[in-house]
Each structure stands twice: as structure tokens, then as C-alpha cells.
Amino acid sequence: MKQQIGRHLSFVECRESQGLGIGGGLAQRATISESGKDVCVVAMGPGRRHITKPVCEITYALREEGINASVLVVNAGNGTPADAPDVTTGQRFGLDPIEVDRINQYKVVLIHLGNVRNHVIYKARLILRNVDKPSIVVSQCPLDFEDFAAIGVKTRDVMPAPEDINTRGSIMEIVTGVVRGVTCSQEKLDEIASKVQKLLPREGDR
């Protein structure tokens, strides 16, 4: 009988362009680091307000659990979508067609898009308009399924009225209290890994 002791080995194909400047080890915007096709972790580009530390720690934690997690850093990740009510910033959040194609290759999408409540829910709606996948939203601020359903996002527990549905994909899980720039607690990492595992197809179903 063979038994693996110690570390789990992962191969990560990284990345389209150099990760330089603010953000340390995480790739800059418009990059992807690929490791299998289980989970796509969607992140904003690094900056003074958009601290990416939780994304790195979440990705490492998933890989330690044997989950193949890739990171897509959105090219236009700052600001808000053009149809969001809070458009006080000059930047606009959006997705390139190639980013949509990449995200759609994965089984589960994990979305980490900042800490401003209105920004998070409208960014998630834009992603799930284009991506027909089950998703998990990770944020620092408090959020619930009602927040997303109120703007037409399909969710596990609360569905908009049929005429108000505005997304293809659905939010199946929400994890809050993941603070930017602070080491993510093991409790939160375990919660995220557990919720991802629930959404992944079982070995016999793949």
C-alpha cells in the first residue's frame, strides 16, 4: 500500500505577464495562474485599496486540500460596473471576452472583489451575467443572499422573481469577515475549503 506523507504537490502554470510593483507575489491585472480546472479564484488587480493577501492565502489553502485552484486577476478590476448606482469613481469594472471564456472552463467560481458592499454585489452580478457557474462570494463586509437577489442575482436560498432574474450563474455560498491585508484565520480558510468541496462534483460524478 502506498501512502503519501507530507506535502501535496501542485503544478501551477503562471502567468501571462510579470507580477511587479504593488501586490508582491500575486500577478498583476490581466494575468492568470493555472492549476487544474476545479476552482477559478477571481481577484481584482493589486493596489492601495485592493489588497490581495487573502486571495493568495485562500488559494494556498485550497491546494493544500487537494483542490486545483487557479487565480484570474481581472484586467478592469477596479471601480464599479457602468450600471451600478454608485459610480462616483472614474474607473469602471468589466470583463474581457477572454476572461469570460477562461472562467467558464472551471467547475466553481470563487469571487473576491473588495469590501464596499455595493461594489461587491454589482461586480458579482456582472460576472454571473456572463458566467453560468456555481459561485462563492468572499468578502470583508457583511452580505447575505437577499442583498444579491434584490438586484436580480440567482442565489441558493433566495431567488428573484422570474422576470427580475439578471444572471446565468448562481451564488451558492457566501463567506464574510475575510479582512484585506490581514492574515486569514484558519477557521475562515477551513470554511472556504469546506464550501468549495460541497460544490465540486464527487469523483464518481465527474
pLDDT tens digits, residue range 75-132?
866 778 888 886 665 678 888 999 999 999 999 999 998 788 888 999 999 999 999 9
> In which region does residue 9 sit, left (phi positive, over 0), alpha (psi from -120 to 50) or beta (all else)?
beta
**Phi, psi dihedrals of residue 160, rounded to the nearest 5°:** -65, 165
Relative orientation angle of helices 53-64 and 186-199, to the nearest 10 degrees:
60
SS3 150: coil
In this predicted structure, what is the pLDDT of residue 114?
A: 76
Whole-structure pTM value: 0.83
Cβ–Cβ < 8 Å for 68, 38: yes
What residues does each domain of the chain span? 13-200
Q: State pLDDT tens for residues 14-53.
A: 444 454 444 445 555 556 777 789 999 998 766 555 556 7
Which parts of the chain fold into alpha helices (H)?
Answer: 53-64, 97-103, 117-130, 145-149, 186-199
Examine the pLDDT at 173 and tell me if it is beyond 90.
Answer: yes
Examine the pLDDT at 137 and tell me if it is beyond 90.
Answer: yes
In this predicted structure, what is the pLDDT of residue 35?
A: 77
In this predicted structure, what is the pLDDT of residue 27?
A: 53
Q: What is the mean pLDDT of residues 135-147?
A: 95
In this predicted structure, what is the pLDDT of residue 119?
A: 86
In this predicted structure, what is the pLDDT of residue 135?
A: 98
Provide the mean pLDDT of the chain: 82
In this predicted structure, what is the pLDDT of residue 83?
A: 82
In this predicted structure, what is the pLDDT of residue 46?
A: 65
User: CATH 3.30.420.250: does it fit domain 13-200?
Assistant: no
At residue 142 the predicted structure's pLDDT band, cuts being 50, 70 and 90, is: very high
CB atoms closer than 10 angstroms to residue 144: 12
Q: What is the mean pLDDT of residues 171-184?
A: 91
